[in-house]
Amino acid sequence: MKKTGAQILCESLLAEGVDVMFGFPGGVLLPFYDTLPQYPQLRHILVRHEQGAAHAADGYARATGKVGVCMATSGPGATNLVTGIANAYLDSVPMVALTGQVARPFIGKDAFQEIDIAGITLPITKHSYVVMETESLAGIIKEAFYLARTGRPGPVLIDIPKDVMTDLADFKYPDTVDLPGYKVPTKGHPTQLKNAAELINKAQRPLIIAGRGVIISGASAELKQFAETAQIPVVTTLLGIGSFPGNHVLNYGMAGMHGTGYANKAIENTDLLIAIGMRFDDRVTGKVSAFARQAKIVHIDLDPAEIGKNVRVDVPIVGDVKAVLLTMHKMIASNQHMDWIRQLNEWRKEHPLLDIDDSAGLLPQYIIRQLYEATSGDAIIVTGVGQHQMWTAQHYAFHEPDSFITSGGLGTMGFGLPAAMGAKVGRPEKTVWVVDGDGSLQMTIQELATLVQDKINVKIAIINNGYLGMVRQWQELFYAKNYVATPLSCPDFVKIAEAYSIAGLRVTRREEVKGAIEQAMAHDGPFLIDFMVEPEENVFPMVPPGAANIEFMERPKKEVSSWPRRNTP
């Protein structure tokens, strides 16, 4: 039976298990939107800006582990997806981006809203397709979803001309994918596994640094078992947060530019660094020549291009993290490393992260801690980008994978609200909070309308300091407080929330924080809290630009609290 290209697209999406997509219509997409009511199983969420569609698909994918789907029309609609596609690419998020294109006879003639979106996105996708025959559409969709979800995940773009949507073709969805040049390694090389195990068994001061690859592989339980058997302390990258329980005795926090002092001292002093599912980006390494100078390095990663790219590696292991850890667990000895762990605990006491000054005003750190207490750590926390992002990473103890969703590689302001929207759609049973800044939120604030229209129950905490805070912090510390283009004249966010029919509160005092969070969580629907925090509070620790991680700057400490609560294995 022949079907139109639009019908084939819908049938193919259903065959891939797609239940929701985020999009914004346009002229060349009208055949698809005209067909969509025939497929009530496909939920379409109308965003207010295409960037929001890409970020929502990203948040959905991270929260669920499924492929996120977004759609935009040709020209500016397609180019508005670019930032979200790049964000997904750098953070290895499975996504399929569908774009409309002008009809085939007009391609290459500068037709209205024609743009070479496949060419534009070539460097930021795993693959890009332009569908030139309706007969090939189903096969392309099959390939696209396979590429997006397998190996190192990432975004794939499919550009579909309008007349491909309207033409008829026989439909049969393929059962398999044949991509001879695309091979996904799984098991590590036996010799390298043996070499790594020997180093681990001999090491006196071993340290694991875990990245997002652990979460992608579904290897959190295997990492915990591995670390506990060998009694190896664990630190994480920003995107590795949640891969290892935040309250575990072997968890020493995030490493890098805004990592804990004791995590960075551990890297400085380890004799064996076991890097798992991470890529040694500059925010983790600091000055590369001074990174882990005393250590041999074992690097486990699915993508061979990442091994040796930034940091020298003694034992490279190319393979799926879960498979590698399962194999290596059989090869490592049960160990103690009591002296090493005792030293790390001393550094933890000397460089406590979570200190709250009772004489200060409303501090962001206090808000994040109260949010953790209110949710008991059982929530999905999504952030924008800036100081609030780092405070959340430092001060909320994440115990499960996929519970912390943030923009890492691209550092995309405006990511938070639409990504939280996607996460809540994908995991409706979970409490979802977005912690955002007054600058970051305003980049995609129009998605408040989407929350209301589609009844998406996201709670919003604005850390409002009246500045582009992270840039202002750099200006304070390194540019003699020359605050150029960083002070913000912010709107009344509570009134804006009310204009969108969203309940809201403004909080100015510490004693109001707990009650406001509880009120938000009890409310049936979206809720916004505008926290008016200390304007010039800085994120510490901080590694200055160009410095070694061990040269971190710290905030003066007046009162030290024990946080987070730690459980025994």
User: Which residue in the list 38, 112, 518, 557 is annotated as catalytic?
Assistant: 112
Q: How do residues 224-233 score in pLDDT, each as one tens digit?
A: 999 999 999 9
**pLDDT of amino acid 355:** 65
Residue 351 reports pLDDT greater than 60 = yes
User: Which residue in the list 165, 278, 470, 532 is annotated as catalytic?
Assistant: 470
pLDDT band per the 50, 70, 90 thresholds, residue 568: very low
32 is catalytic: no
User: Which residue in the list 3, 66, 162, 459 is annotated as catalytic?
Assistant: 162
**pLDDT of amino acid 558:** 52
pLDDT band per the 50, 70, 90 thresholds, residue 557: low
**pLDDT of amino acid 569:** 35
CA distance 328 to 189: 11
State what percent of residues in the chain have pLDDT above 70.
Answer: 97
Kindly state the average pLDDT of the residues 484-500: 97
50 is catalytic: yes
Kindly state the average pLDDT of the residues 297-311: 97
Burial degree of 405 (CB within 10 A; 0-12, 13-18, 19+): buried
CA distance 150 to 546: 36
| Residue 341: CB atoms within 10 Å | 17
CA distance 258 to 266: 15
pLDDT band per the 50, 70, 90 thresholds, residue 357: low
Query: β-strand 272-276 against 251-254: which pairing, if any?
Result: unpaired
Q: How do residues 381-403 score in pLDDT, each as one tens digit?
A: 999 999 999 999 999 999 999 99
pLDDT band per the 50, 70, 90 thresholds, residue 555: confident
**pLDDT of amino acid 354:** 66
Kindly state the average pLDDT of the residues 41-57: 98
**pLDDT of amino acid 559:** 44
Kindly state the average pLDDT of the residues 110-138: 98
224 is catalytic: no
pLDDT band per the 50, 70, 90 thresholds, residue 552: very high
Residue 561 reports pLDDT greater than 80 = no
User: Which residue in the list 7, 11, 24, 50 is annotated as catalytic?
Assistant: 50
Kindly state the average pLDDT of the residues 83-88: 98
Query: β-strand 251-254 against 459-464: which pairing, if any?
Result: unpaired
- Are 17 and 172 in contact by the 8 Å Cβ rule? The answer is no
Q: Structural domains in the chain?
A: 2-170 (3.40.50.970), 190-350 (3.40.50.1220), 364-540 (3.40.50.970)
Residue 51 reports pLDDT greater than 70 = yes
**pLDDT of amino acid 428:** 98
CA distance 377 to 400: 9
Kindly state the average pLDDT of the residues 401-406: 97
